[in-house]
Amino acid sequence: MIKTFPGGVQPACLKNETIDKLIKNAPVPREVIIPLLQHTGAPCEPMVSAGSRVRTGQVIARSDKFISSPIHASISGTVKKIDRYPHPVIGSFNAVFIEGDGADTKETSIKKTDNVNLLSEDEIRDIVRECGIVGLGGAAFPTHVKLALPEGKAIDSFILNGSECEPYLTCDHRLMLENPAGIIEGMAMMLRLTGASRAYIAIESNKIGAAFALEKILRDKRYNTLNAKIVILKTKYPQGAERSLIKSILNREVPPRGLPLDVGCVVSNVGTAFAVYEAVFNGKPLYERVVTVTGSCVAEPSNLRVRIGTPVKDLVDALGGLKKDVYKIIFGGPMMGLAQLSLDTPVIKGTSGILFLSKEDVAEYAETNCIRCGRCVDVCPLNMVPADIMRFVKKEQYERAIEYNVEDCIECGCCSYECPSKIPLFQWIKLGKTEVLNLRSAK
């Protein structure tokens, strides 16, 4: 039976340009600019300075805070400087500039293993941390933290998220088709670390090929004890959001301001599982990732394995340039992604896609008055009342907004997408979240 959650929307799919294309390696860039914050948590401090020689995969920045993740050089060469630079999520941030030597010499301090069973849980978690693995679905939460359950917490279910519900994006889909064994090995390690007794692999109904590829691996007797099964979900946005997945698969609701852990569950993306596999089996830090580069302006839309810190313009060149004028560049998908101002912006760990959209692709409408139709409520996957929250935020009544659970908004944008009056509800709600956060930290 195909499962789903209440609410959500069905935007056009727009994945066809890249869905059948094998993942290719992007050229190794001549220069990378690697921001010192690429994850949820404390920023890293540089461990190199101008003139330092570095190897691909060498740690160049870290923090001693638990919720943080080390950052690695993505090419070999020489550090030119550390300076502020455009950042795709937070405007600008300090970054390490590395000029490549063309050799791509690898750091080999993290050992490969042939038998993961010889490693303890703590050793695996240390490798995951040392390799800088973060959630690759977008939030970039440090994976070693997610895999270290707090004292007194236990979970019964692990959800591997292969739903990839954003239009345009196909990087997870391709990874599931091309590397299913690595994904299952990574998931097996995550199950061991979290103690979950069963796993659900969540795949939308438009990716049946990926479901078959993973199912074939699961049939191997090595994985009999995993207690894992594939769950086919309705193709609907935002099916891949943690709360939607948990509702669709387990029929559990994460409480207001709660976490999946509160309902006995951990959710992780398929790309993250593969990165865990590569770290533990191959000793490979997270210095590159698969990115969908697409949109009507790109000459050759593709899925590329891209070094972290690669400026967008290098990817445009690698794909034969732009075939028409770009009106909007978006990092991520069109629903939750962030618009960028510059072709110099670098790829970071959380960059799942880069869209180059023309004016015709980007609908622009004049906002009109709310007609109280209730459609924003119908589509909100959290059953919130976006129109009311917007009114509270406009009037700076943040306590009322808190009562209406503004902080729980997952920023999916369904309310704005569906609103017939084209009211930017999501933008108001996001502003409300920021103001509430400021209020809480001022107390």
Give the nearest distance from C-beta 241 to ligand SF4 in angstroms: 8
Per-residue tokens: 369: 């008055």
Closest to 228 measured CA to CA, from 288, 275, 160 = 160
Give the nearest distance from C-beta 385 to ligand SF4 in angstroms: 8
297 contributes a contact to ligand SF4 by CB under 6 A: no
* CA pair distance 404, 390, nearest whole angstrom: 10
Closest to 41 measured CA to CA, from 108, 135, 123 = 135
Per-residue tokens: 393: 């935020």
Q: Which stretch binds ligand SF4 (CB under 6 A): 136-144, 174-182, 316-324, 409-417?
A: 409-417
Tell me if 336 sits within 8 A of 89, measured CB to CB: no
374 contributes a contact to ligand SF4 by CB under 6 A: yes
414 contributes a contact to ligand SF4 by CB under 6 A: yes
Q: Which position among 363, 372, 441, 443 is part of the footprint of ligand SF4 (CB under 6 A)?
A: 372
CB atoms within 10 A of CB 117: 6
380 contributes a contact to ligand SF4 by CB under 6 A: yes
Give the nearest distance from C-beta 367 to ligand SF4 in angstroms: 10
165 contributes a contact to ligand SF4 by CB under 6 A: no
> Which amino acid, residue 144?
H
Give the nearest distance from C-beta 364 to ligand SF4 in angstroms: 17
110 contributes a contact to ligand SF4 by CB under 6 A: no
Q: Which position among 31, 262, 411, 435 is part of the footprint of ligand SF4 (CB under 6 A)?
A: 411
Which is nearer to ligand SF4, 290 or 384 (by Cβ)? Answer: 384
Q: Which stretch binds ligand SF4 (CB under 6 A): 32-40, 175-183, 202-210, 380-388?
A: 380-388
Q: What is the CA radius of gyration of the chain?
A: 21
Residue 77: helix, strand or coil by DSSP?
A: strand
Tell me if 165 sits within 8 A of 204, measured CB to CB: yes
CA dihedral 88, 93, 96, 100 (to 10 degrees): 30
Q: Which position among 97, 141, 404, 426 is part of the footprint of ligand SF4 (CB under 6 A)?
A: 426
Q: Which stretch binds ligand SF4 (CB under 6 A): 121-129, 156-164, 203-211, 368-376?
A: 368-376
386 contributes a contact to ligand SF4 by CB under 6 A: yes
Q: Which stretch binds ligand SF4 (CB under 6 A): 69-77, 78-86, 99-107, 425-433?
A: 425-433
Which is nearer to ligand SF4, 148 or 259 (by Cβ)? Answer: 259
Which is nearer to ligand SF4, 193 or 384 (by Cβ)? Answer: 384
Q: Which position among 82, 177, 280, 415 is part of the footprint of ligand SF4 (CB under 6 A)?
A: 415
* CA pair distance 190, 161, nearest whole angstrom: 13
Phi-psi region at 227: left, alpha or beta (left = phi > 0; alpha = psi -120 to 50): left
154 contributes a contact to ligand SF4 by CB under 6 A: no
Alpha helical stretches, state H, 157-304: 171-178, 180-194, 208-218, 242-250, 270-282
* CA pair distance 236, 206, nearest whole angstrom: 10
Place of tokens 């139709």: 373
Please report, for residues 197, 200, 215, 443, the alpha-carbon distance to residue 227 in angstroms, rounded to integers and kept in the order given: 7, 9, 12, 46
Number of residues that bind ligand SF4 (CB under 6 A): 28
Residue 124: helix, strand or coil by DSSP?
A: helix
Give the nearest distance from C-beta 243 to ligand SF4 in angstroms: 9
Name the residues that contact ligand SF4, by CB under 6 A.
370-376, 379-382, 384, 386-387, 409-415, 419-421, 423, 425-426, 429
